[in-house]
Structure 1
Amino acid sequence: MFSNVHDEVLVSAPTQVDGGQFTIEKCTDCILLVLDKTASISIDGCRNCIMVIGPCRGSIFMRDSTNCVIHAASQQFRTRDLKNIEARLYCTSGPIIEESTRIEFSPLLMNYDGIDKHMADSCLSPFANQWFRVHNVTPESSKFTLTTMHFDSKVPTHSVISEKLSEKFRRMFQKSPHGLTFDPDESYFYNVSFDKLLGPYEERAIILIKSLDDGPNAKSMQELYNEARQVIREIFRYSTLPIDGQATKDSVRLIHIQDMTLKPGDYEKILQLKMDHKTPGGKIIIIEFAGVNARSICNGALTPSNFVINPISSNGDSNGNSVRPQLVIVDATNTEFYRSQLYQYCHNQRRS
């Protein structure tokens, strides 16, 4: 618990909370770090504070607070009676606000030592962020904005807190506790572009990372998510490499990431594949890039000479896609069909 403190930097390190409940109340002019997994978080009566909260399996409920910044990952984020708040969130169910004004939401970009394990232990996928799906319970009195414009520096700047607290926060990163960083290039989470429409000459590239194995060799959530993050990072890296030592490649943008859970037989049923056997249940990560030559960039980035998760199969799947045992780069002729089928299945899962 952080309670009744003023002008302090407080850190709850990994294993100190270890999945339990945590309370933050009546704090002013503080930097408050909860770098651990929690079951739920209650925040009450805080003024001019920066809060950084690791994965919360349940709900973060923030009430009666003003001029605060919160960086947090949770299943649910709820507010009541807030004013002048910057909320940089990972939230799987969409934030809920009530009687709150001048709330600015943006996606969480953050990392610290052990966050991948904390996310997996909290049953949170890094690819299910619904920070922008805000449910305003009191639209007549609550106001909020959405932005993705805070990601050009390694230490974030904040407008709703005092300059003194901002400077203290910047100085803290000269020796960052537990590897804490907000550098977009090192973030555990990814910022997905709001621009979903294709521009002139652009194409979509869809990558599937599969863990369809219910046996002893099944990947853990932590392993699967780290592999998916590695794929995204490598594609961005490859897209900036020079060609013949001169011009750079065409850029790509990440426009969708989706984590879906399948029951046995779902994979071939959804994609209308002819299989000799029923696939087991498991997880699939869908990654979609857009850009001129996006598919060529993805194929180049993920060739065995550049990138290895598993050896490439000598055979494609039944639709001719480039395949590794756990990775598929969807062929151009199948992209729109796969995209439609998989996203519709994900939509139905969210509604059920």
Structure 2
Amino acid sequence: MFRVRKCQNTFIYLLDNINTLFVDECKNCSIITGPVQTSLFVRNCTNCKILASCQQYRVRDCNSVTTFLACTSDPIIESSSELKFAPYQFSYPELKGQFAAAGLNVFNCMWSSVHDFSPNGDGSLNFSYLPHSEKVSDFFLLPQEAVEQHCVPTGDSDPDASSTAAVAVQDLVNLKISFDETCSIVPKTAGSLELAPIEDPMSVLVAVFHHPEVEDNAMALIRQIVKTGKAFLVRTRSAILRPEDIRQIFGDVTHASHAKLGPVIFLLFCGAEGEVCQLCTDSVREVVRAKAIQPQTLLHVTDNPVAAKRQFQMFVCLCDAQQYHT
């Protein structure tokens, strides 16, 4: 367990695995964390910015807190106001291993499914979502930037303490931290079709069945599609399901047999009608060819928008039911 308490006007970087994290009574702080294996609690905080990944995210008695979040369950808020949420965009060399050690799946991110336990009686919301175009770098400073812009020599009378602090700061500065969404270990998602920055979006589903380097190949596919600017990633989900579950979704014996191989990753994209279907189909073919994926049916595209949304929702429901019964 780790606790951050009563900090003001502070830049905090906790770039390691944490079991449970409490952030209490902080004001005007910028907090960036490594993966939190269980829960991240934010309580009685004002005007703070948080970049975090965790299993559960809970905010209580807070005002004006902006969170760039990767969370494997629905974020929960209570007795709070003026909260803002956005998708996680972050990377550094050790982060992938830390996610694995924390048991967090980068494709199970529910950042936008906020549940308010104390809604306003007039129907107004205590939270909102930042526009999809917002970047982490507009809200947070890299360690080097924080040192250059805000650190002032203290004249500490203890040279050993000053030396230790200087080494710690330099170690932090030397980390190859990036806020670039194209490098983020967690793929950036719009959260829902309603939040996607496009009018009347058309949905396309891509299912990536288990095979060697499946996560790397799924990320390569996402980047190839998104970099065109013609499509957005709406949501992602990953789970191990039974063959009969996959057959229920697709009505296909071949895909059902693939379920025996391991976890399947579902990617829901959206874009303009007439563009997004062909883009996703062509991108899947290119990744299959470039990565020599066999059989080719390990990557599947549903380009009917109604079927794509239905199949993704069926997958989510089956995942939730599985989680409930385990």
TM-score (norm 2): 0.75
Q: Is the 8 A contact 2:21 2:39 kept in 1?
A: yes
The equivalent residue for 1:185 is 182
Matched, 1:195 2:175: no
Matched, 1:230 2:217: no
Compared CA separation, residues 85 and 152, structure 1 to 2 (3 A): closer
Matches within 5 A, 1:82-231: 82-140=62-120, 144-149=126-131, 151-153=133-135, 155-157=137-139, 167-168=149-150, 177-193=174-190, 194-195=192-193, 203-211=202-210, 219=212, 223-231=213-221
**Offset at residue 156 of structure 1 (A):** 2.1
- Distance in 2 (CA, whole Å) between partners of 1:267 and 1:104 is 36
Q: Secondary structure of 1:155's match? A: helix
Matched, 1:46 2:16: no
Q: Is the 8 A contact 1:234 1:307 kept in 2?
A: no
**Offset at residue 312 of structure 1 (A):** 5.5
**Offset at residue 296 of structure 1 (A):** 1.8
Give 2:137's aligned amino acid: V
- Distance in 1 (CA, whole Å) between partners of 2:214 and 2:293 is 16
Compared CA separation, residues 191 and 144, structure 1 to 2 (3 A): farther
Give 2:89's aligned amino acid: L
Which one has a larger percent helix, Structure 1 or Structure 2?
2
**Offset at residue 80 of structure 1 (A):** 2.1
Matched, 1:262 2:241: yes
Compared CA separation, residues 67 and 327, structure 1 to 2 (3 A): same
Q: Is the 8 A contact 2:241 2:319 kept in 1?
A: no
**Offset at residue 71 of structure 1 (A):** 0.6
Q: Secondary structure of 1:228's match? A: helix
User: RMSD of the TM alignment (CA)?
Assistant: 3.4
Give 2:128's aligned amino acid: L
Name which structure has the greater RCO, CA cutoff 8 Å, separation 6+: 2
Q: Secondary structure of 1:93's match? A: coil
Give 1:155's aligned amino acid: S
The equivalent residue for 1:343 is 313
Compared CA separation, residues 253 and 305, structure 1 to 2 (3 A): closer
- Distance in 2 (CA, whole Å) between partners of 1:148 and 1:109 is 13
| Segment drifting more, 274-283 vs 263-272 | 274-283
Residue-by-residue CA offset, 1:301-342 (whole Å, 9 max, x unaligned): 3434896233454xxxxxxxxx35x32234x46x64464244
Q: Is the 8 A contact 1:34 1:53 kept in 2?
A: yes
Give 1:344's aligned amino acid: M
Q: Secondary structure of 1:72's match? A: strand
The equivalent residue for 1:243 is none
- Distance in 2 (CA, whole Å) between partners of 1:344 and 1:302 is 22
- Distance in 2 (CA, whole Å) between partners of 1:276 and 1:34 is 42
Q: Secondary structure of 2:290's match? A: coil
Q: Secondary structure of 1:184's match? A: coil
Compared CA separation, residues 59 and 290, structure 1 to 2 (3 A): same
The equivalent residue for 1:303 is 285
Give 2:188's aligned amino acid: N
**Offset at residue 231 of structure 1 (A):** 0.9
Residue-by-residue CA offset, 1:103-134 (whole Å, 9 max, x unaligned): 22222221222222222222222222222222
Q: Secondary structure of 2:112's match? A: coil
The equivalent residue for 1:327 is 299
Q: Is the 8 A contact 1:235 1:302 kept in 2?
A: no
Specify every segment of 5 or more residues in structure 1 that has no aligned partner in the other structure, as ranges: 1-20, 159-163, 212-217, 241-250, 314-322
Compared CA separation, residues 290 and 102, structure 1 to 2 (3 A): closer
Compared CA separation, residues 204 and 180, structure 1 to 2 (3 A): same
The equivalent residue for 1:61 is 41
**Offset at residue 40 of structure 1 (A):** 0.9
- Distance in 2 (CA, whole Å) between partners of 1:234 and 1:176 is 31
- Distance in 2 (CA, whole Å) between partners of 1:146 and 1:277 is 39
Q: Secondary structure of 1:101's match? A: coil
**Offset at residue 208 of structure 1 (A):** 1.2
Identity of aligned residues (%): 22
Q: Is the 8 A contact 1:45 1:63 kept in 2?
A: yes
Give 2:209's aligned amino acid: K
- Distance in 1 (CA, whole Å) between partners of 2:148 and 2:62 is 20
Q: Secondary structure of 1:254's match? A: strand
Q: Secondary structure of 1:205's match? A: strand
Compared CA separation, residues 278 and 229, structure 1 to 2 (3 A): closer
Give 1:268's aligned amino acid: R
